[in-house]
Amino acid sequence: MPYTEAELIPLSALQHLLFCPRQAALIHVEQLWAENRLTVEGMHLHRRAHEATDELRGDTRIVRGLALRSLAHGLVGMADIVEFTPNDETRATTLRTTPLRGLFQAVKAEPAAWQVTPVEYKRGKPKSDESDRVQLCAQTLCLEEMLMVKIAEGSLFYGKRKRRTRVLFDAELRATTVAAAERFHQLFSSGVTPPAVYSAKCDNCSLISLCLPKIAGRGLAQQFLNRQFSLALSMEAPRSDPDDHEESA
Amino acid sequence: MKQHLNTLFVTTEGTYLAKDGMAVAVRMEKKTRLRIPLHNLDGIVCFGRVGVSPSLMAICGESGVTISMTDAHGRFRAAIIGYSPGNVLLRRTQYRVADDPSKSCEIARIMVAAKLANCRAVLLRAARDSRVESRRSTLTTAARRLVTNLEAARACDSLERLRGIEGEGASTYFEAFSAMVNVPEDAFQFTSRSRRPPLDPLNALLSFLYALLAHDARSACEAAGLDAAVGFLHRDRPGRPGLALDLMEEFRPFLADRLALSLINRRQISASGFTTSPTGAVNMNDATRKTLLKAYQVRKQKTMLHPFLQEKTSVGIMIHLQARLLARHLRGDVDAYPAFVWR
Ligand code: SF4
ipTM of the complex: 0.70
pLDDT band, residue B166 (cuts 50/70/90):
very high
Nearest CA in chain B to A190: B89
Q: Write the DSSP string, B36-95.
A: EEGGG-SEEEEESS-EE-HHHHHHHHHTT-EEEEE-TTS-EEEEE-------HHHHHHHH
The neighbour count for residue A247, using CB atoms within 10 Å, is 11
**B19-42 tens-digit pLDDT:** 998 889 999 888 888 898 887 777
Contacts of B178 (CB under 8 A, 6+ apart): B189, B190, B191
Contact B343, A42 (CB under 8 A): no
- A234 vs B: CB within 8 A: no
Segment among A207-221, B157-171, B285-299 with least mean pLDDT? A207-221
Q: What is the pLDDT of residue B133?
A: 83
Nearest CA in chain A to B90: A30
Binding-site positions of B for Mn(2+) read 166, 234, 249
Angle at CA of residue B304, ends B287 and B296, nearest 5°? 10
Strand partners, B283: B275
- pTM attached to this predicted model: 0.74
- Whose CA is closest to B33, among B8, B16, B19? B16
**B100-124 tens-digit pLDDT:** 999 999 999 999 999 999 999 999 9
Kindly report the protein residue whose alpha carbon is nearest to atom 3 of ligand 1: A196
Task: Report chain B residues whose CB lies below 8 A from the CB of A237.
Answer: 121, 124-125, 127-128
**A216-235 tens-digit pLDDT:** 655 688 888 888 888 888 87
What integer is the mean pLDDT of B233-245? 82
Judged by DSSP in three states, B17 sits in: strand
In angstroms, rounded to a whole number, what is the distance separating the alpha carbons of residues B9 and B241? 21
Domains of chain B by start residue, with CATH: 2-80 (3.100.10.20), 88-331 (1.20.120.920)
Residue span(s) of chain A under CATH 3.90.320.10 come to 5-193
Q: Which of A194-208, B5-19, B164-178, B278-292 is predicted most confidently?
A: B164-178
Kindly report the protein residue whose alpha carbon is nearest to atom 5 of ligand 1: A23
Instruction: Inform me whether the pLDDT recorded for A80 exceeds 80.
Output: yes
Q: What is the pLDDT of residue A99?
A: 81
Mutate to test the interface with B, among A198, A212, A234 (most CBs of B within 10 A): A212
Ligand 1 pocket residue status of A208, Cβ below 6 Å:
yes
Name the helix (H) or strand (E) containing B98: helix B88-99
Determine the atom of ligand 1 nearest the C-alpha atom of A196: 3
What integer is the mean pLDDT of B315-342? 87
Among 3.90.320.10, 3.40.50.620, 3.90.550.10, 3.40.50.880, name the CATH number for the domain at A5-193.
Answer: 3.90.320.10
Cβ-defined contact of B328 to A212 (cutoff 8 Å) = yes
Instruction: Inform me whether the pLDDT recorded for A247 exceeds 60.
Output: no
pLDDT band, residue B128 (cuts 50/70/90):
confident
CA A208 to chain centroid, in Å, comes to 18
Q: What is the pLDDT of residue A35?
A: 44
Determine the atom of ligand 1 nearest the C-alpha atom of A206: 6
Strand partners, B10: B46
pLDDT band, residue A36 (cuts 50/70/90):
very low
pLDDT band, residue A243 (cuts 50/70/90):
low
Contact B276, B253 (CB under 8 A): no
Higher model confidence: residue A53 or residue B17?
B17
Task: Report chain A residues whose CB lies below 8 A from the CB of B334.
Answer: 215-216, 220-221
pLDDT band, residue B83 (cuts 50/70/90):
low
Contact B126, B264 (CB under 8 A): no
Q: What is the pLDDT of residue A49?
A: 45
From A209, A215, A232, residue closest to B308, measured CB to CB:
A215
In angstroms, rounded to a whole number, what is the distance separating the alpha carbons of residues B263 and B269? 6
Q: What is the pLDDT of residue A48?
A: 47
Higher model confidence: residue A200 or residue A51?
A200
Supply the mean pLDDT for chain B. Answer: 85
Q: What is the pLDDT of residue B231?
A: 93
Backbone dihedral angles phi then psi of residue A166, each to the nearest 5 degrees: -75, 145
Kindly report the protein residue whose alpha carbon is nearest to atom 2 of ligand 1: A202
Higher model confidence: residue B152 or residue B185?
B152
Higher model confidence: residue B175 or residue A127?
B175
Query: Closest approach of chain B CAs to the CA of A110, in angstroms?
Result: 43
pLDDT band, residue B86 (cuts 50/70/90):
low
Ligand 1 pocket residue status of A63, Cβ below 6 Å:
no
Task: Report chain B residues whose CB lies below 8 A from the CB of A224.
Answer: 307-308, 338
Contact B71, B47 (CB under 8 A): yes
- Whose CA is closest to B220, among B228, B208, B210? B228
Ligand 1 pocket residue status of A136, Cβ below 6 Å:
no
Q: How far is the CA of A23 from the centre of ligand 1 (A)?
A: 5
In angstroms, rounded to a whole number, what is the distance separating the alpha carbons of residues A76 and A135? 11
Higher model confidence: residue B248 or residue B6?
B248
Nearest CA in chain B to A29: B87
Considering chain B, what percentage of its residues have pLDDT values greater than 90? 31
Q: What is the pLDDT of residue A242?
A: 63
What integer is the mean pLDDT of B216-241? 83
Angle at CA of residue B238, ends B56 and B164, nearest 5°? 125
Nearest CA in chain A to B140: A236
- Whose CA is closest to B208, among B117, B113, B273, B143? B273
Strand partners, B7: B43
Task: Report chain A residues whose CB lies below 8 A from the CB of B305.
Answer: 240
Instruction: Enumerate residues 284 to 313 of chain B having a beta carbon within 8 A of any beta carbon in chain A.
Output: 298-299, 301-305, 307-309, 313
Task: Report chain B residues whose CB lies below 8 A from the CB of A216.
Answer: 328, 333-334
Q: What is the pLDDT of residue A33?
A: 62
Backbone dihedral angles phi then psi of residue B160, each to the nearest 5 degrees: -60, -50
Q: Write the DSSP string, chain A.
A: -PPPGGG-EEHHHHHHHHH-HHHHIIIIIS------HHHHHHHHHHHHHHH---EEETTEEEEEEEEEEETTTTEEEEEEEEEEEESSHHHHHHHHHS-HHHHHHHHHH-GGGEEEEEEEEESSS--SSSHHHHHHHHHHHHHHHHH-----EEEEEETTTTEEEEEE--HHHHHHHHHHHHHHHHHHHHTPPPPP---GGGGG-TTHHHH-TTTTTSTTHHHHHHHHHHHHHH-SS-S--TTTS--B-
Ligand 1 pocket residue status of A201, Cβ below 6 Å:
yes
Q: What is the pLDDT of residue A197?
A: 85
Cβ-defined contact of B124 to A235 (cutoff 8 Å) = yes
pLDDT band, residue A130 (cuts 50/70/90):
confident
What integer is the mean pLDDT of B9-26? 88
Instruction: Inform me whether the pLDDT recorded for A3 exceeds 60.
Output: yes
Kindly report the protein residue whose alpha carbon is nearest to atom 7 of ligand 1: A202
Query: Distances from the Cα of B141 to the Cαs of A213, B135, B146, in angstroms?
Result: 42, 10, 9
Task: Report chain A residues whose CB lies below 8 A from the CB of B333.
Answer: 193, 195-196, 212, 215-217
